[in-house]
């Protein structure tokens, strides 16, 4: 019985690349996340996915980002980089429900 490797950094890189390619179009982001859900294990990497959608990259214990300012490991398409108004945050929340 072979165990599957736990590779959150590979998962992060795949999600971040897709989000960055989707650009500022929240509908395209939602479509990417929906399509990726059929091939990526969202349950296994739920914490990593949450970190990316909220903070833009993986977080270390204590809340610092683990990206070494490498733009390929982070995205600005997340709650932390959203405009600070109710509608913008609600739109990001709707992406997560999609």
Confidence tier at 4 by pLDDT (50, 70, 90): confident
Per residue in 45-77, pLDDT (tens digit) is 999 999 999 999 999 998 888 888 888 999 998
Select from 79, 81, 73 the least CA-distant residue to 57: 73
pTM: 0.84
H-state helical runs in the chain: 8-22, 26-36, 46-55, 86-97
In angstroms, the CA 32 to CA 15 distance is: 9
Q: Angle, nearest 10°, between helix axes 26-36 and 8-22? A: 150
pLDDT digits (tens, 9 = 90+) for 14-51: 999 999 999 888 889 999 999 999 899 999 999 999 99
59 phi and psi angles, rounded to 5 deg = -115, 140
- CA-CA distance, 90 to 97, in Å (whole number)? 11
Residue 92 near residue 52 (C-beta atoms within 8 A): no
Domain spans in the chain, listed from the N-terminal domain onward: 1-97
């Amino acid at each position: 019985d072979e165990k599957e490797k736990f590779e959150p950094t590979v998962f992060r890189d795949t999600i971040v690349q897709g989000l960055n390619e989707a650009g500022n179009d929240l509908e395209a982001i939602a479509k990417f996340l929906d399509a990726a859900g059929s091939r990526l294990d969202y349950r296994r990497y739920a914490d990593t996915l949450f970190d990316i959608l909220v903070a833009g990259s993986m977080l270390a214990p204590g809340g610092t980002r683990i990206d070494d300012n490498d733009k390929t490991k982070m995205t600005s398409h997340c709650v932390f980089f959203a405009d600070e108004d109710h509608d913008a945050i609600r739109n990001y929340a709707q992406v997560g429900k999609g």
